[in-house]
Amino acid sequence: MLILEGLSKTYKTGDAALRDVSLTVPKGQIMGLIGPSGAGKSTLIRCINRLVEPTGGKVLLGDMDLVRLGKADLRRQRRRIGMIFQEYALVERLTVMENVLSGRLGYVPFWRSFLRKYPPADIQRAYQLLDRVGLIEHADKRADALSGGQRQRVGIARALAQDPELLLVDEPTASLDPKTSRQIMRLLTEICAERDLPAIVNIHDVPLAQQFMQRIVGLRAGRVVFDGTPDQLTHDALTAIYGEEDWNEMRRGDEEQTRAELDARDRMAALAR
């Protein structure tokens, strides 16, 4: 279980990215974090594993306050938190297997990671995860040889290789097409359900969030302005998060966009044939 208490972040430039955010994410819950650009979504999830240092508040994972930890302890605690990135953030020039095994870096001594001599149990687990995300036959390919959707699957396998107790997911589908986005979201939700894993998912695509999330939190200017189920995300709630806009029109537009993209792809496929 993850508890945020009064989490705040003010950058050196004086911009308050987060103001007094308090949230509780129970075991097994997938929470979507929505909000306009600059609302503090990325800052929030990076404050949890302290890739960004929070300026105030508490981050409790289990009964451990991550904000107070020293460098060595922080490294040990980061192993409990898997992170998945927008642009996949794989090490492009390493193989798929090396990328998945890099999820074990916090558990193995330097010489093992340097010589790529991981313990047999780690290797077996990496193969098992690659099989789970459907990439076992690509294990020895270089990461930059894969497509976007495949790379994000490697990113998921790397995060799971850590045996995490929490997943932080930063815009997992922002660089993917609508169909692959839905496949990735489905995979993420299945995996979280299998392991009873809580997850915080930054997402800017509201219909996608409504389709896959159990709970949605809306951020605006660093404050929580909405916290509820996808059904409760009404016209008024969206206006509170994003400001005035014709939301029904936008949703219709989004469906149209999806249909248009699918149509365009079908036609391209027909041309290629």
Partner 1 sequence: MTEITHYSQVWSYRTSRGRLALWGGWLALVALFVWCWQIMTRDTIWFFVADAPTQAADIGSRMVPPRWSYLPELMQPLWDTINIATLGTIGGVIMAVPVAFLAARNTTPSALILRPIALFIIVASRSINSLIWALLLVAIIGPGLLAGIVAIALRSIGFIGKLLYEAIEETDATQIEAIEATGASGAQVLSYGIVPQIMPAFWGITVFRWDINIRESTILGLVGAGGIGLKLQASLNTLAWSQVTVILLLILATVVLSEWVSARMRHAII
Q: Does 117 bind partner 1 (CB under 8 A)?
A: no
In the complex, least distance from residue 169 CB atom to partner 1, rounded to whole angstroms? 12
Pick from 15, 92, 131, 190 the residue near partner 1 by CB under 8 A: 92
Give how far Cα 11 sits from Cα of 6, 70, 249, Å: 16, 21, 36
| Cβ pair 16, 39 in contact under 8 A | no
Amino acid at 66: L
Binding string to partner 1 for residues 144 to 183, with x set by CB under 8 A, is what? Answer: -----------x--x---x-----x---------------
Query: Which one, 91 or 193, has the nearer CB to partner 1?
Result: 91
> Reduced to 3 states, what is the DSSP secondary structure of residue 253?
helix
Binding string to partner 1 for residues 17 to 56, with x set by CB under 8 A, is what? Answer: --------------------------------x-x-----
In the complex, least distance from residue 48 CB atom to partner 1, rounded to whole angstroms? 10
What tokens appear for 153 in the block?
């699957």
Pick from 28, 36, 56, 106 the residue near partner 1 by CB under 8 A: 106
Instruction: Count Cβ atoms below 10 Å from residue 140 Cβ, excluding itself.
Output: 9
Cα 211 to its chain centre, rounded Å, is 16
Q: Does 3 bind partner 1 (CB under 8 A)?
A: no
Strand 199-202 vs strand 166-170: parallel, antiparallel, or unpaired?
parallel
Q: Does 113 bind partner 1 (CB under 8 A)?
A: yes
Give how far Cα 197 sits from Cα of 62, 177, 249, Å: 13, 26, 35
- Residues in the interface with partner 1 (CB under 8 A) total 31
Integer Cα distance of 203 and 212 in angstroms:
11
Query: Which one, 111 or 272, has the nearer CB to partner 1?
Result: 111
Strand intervals (E) in 36-159: 56-61, 64-65, 81-84
Name the residues that contact partner 1, by CB under 8 A.
49, 51, 75-79, 81, 83, 85, 87, 89-94, 98, 102-107, 110, 113-114, 155, 158, 162, 168
